[in-house]
């Protein structure tokens, strides 16, 4: 590769995010007084931010630790081109710093790491900063969601 004067190369590296994952059904039970807060199944993981994945993708061990139930299945296309039918989990709360999202995840057998995909990134108003290679708020430190609506004209 030939570089122009002043041009530098920088390889795009993986972006990681420390997430706290909690069983959302446990949260409801604790809120209603059926569980103590310390009984809420919680796991802290270092997830790979994967903008090619559309949701939260979990390994089976993390699902087991959180006590997540299978609620269905979803076909996925794995990175190696393999098509897999994978379990969809019961709801999980995803926490990154002061932001959170609640959604179901996909459990992939043999997955070596947790992947944080586009849906939770969007819901938490997060993007990958292109030059710092880190997760940041899309609109700074404040979460900003756009709501488009059409006013009624009378």
Give this prediction's pTM.
0.81
Q: Would 58 be classed as within a structural domain?
A: yes
Q: Output the tens digit of pLDDT for each of the chain's 154 residues.
A: 333 444 434 445 789 999 999 999 999 999 999 999 999 999 999 999 998 899 999 999 999 999 999 999 999 988 778 898 999 999 999 999 999 999 999 999 888 889 999 999 999 999 998 888 889 888 876 655 555 555 655 5
Backbone angles phi, psi at 27, to 5 degrees: -60, -40
Residue 150 lies in a domain: no
Domain assignment of residue 120, given as a range? 16-137
Would you state the structure tokens that stand for residue 135, as one six-digit string?
């997760």
- Examine residue 87 and state whether it is found in any structural domain, yes or no: yes
> Considering its fold, how many domains does the chain have in total?
1
The span from the CA of 35 to the CA of 12, in Å, is: 44
| Within-domain flag for 101 | yes
**CATH of residue 37:** 2.40.70.10
The answer to the question of residue 39 being in a domain is yes
8 falls within a domain: no
Compute and round to an integer the Cα radius of gyration of the chain: 19
């Amino acid at each position: 590769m030939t570089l122009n004067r002043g041009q530098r190369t920088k390889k795009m590296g993986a972006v990681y995010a420390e997430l706290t994952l909690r069983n959302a059904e446990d949260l409801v039970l604790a809120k209603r007084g059926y569980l103590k807060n310390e009984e809420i199944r919680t796991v802290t993981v270092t997830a790979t931010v994967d903008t090619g994945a559309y949701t939260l993708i979990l390994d089976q061990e993390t699902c087991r630790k959180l006590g997540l139930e299978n609620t269905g299945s979803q076909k996925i296309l794995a990175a190696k081109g393999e098509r897999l039918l994978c379990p969809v989990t019961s709801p999980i709360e995803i926490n990154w710093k002061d932001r959170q999202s609640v959604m179901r995840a996909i459990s992939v057998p043999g997955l070596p790491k947790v992947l944080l995909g586009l849906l939770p990134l969007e819901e938490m108003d997060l993007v990958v900063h292109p030059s710092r290679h880190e997760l940041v708020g899309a609109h700074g430190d404040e979460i900003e969601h756009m709501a488009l609506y059409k006013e009624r004209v009378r």
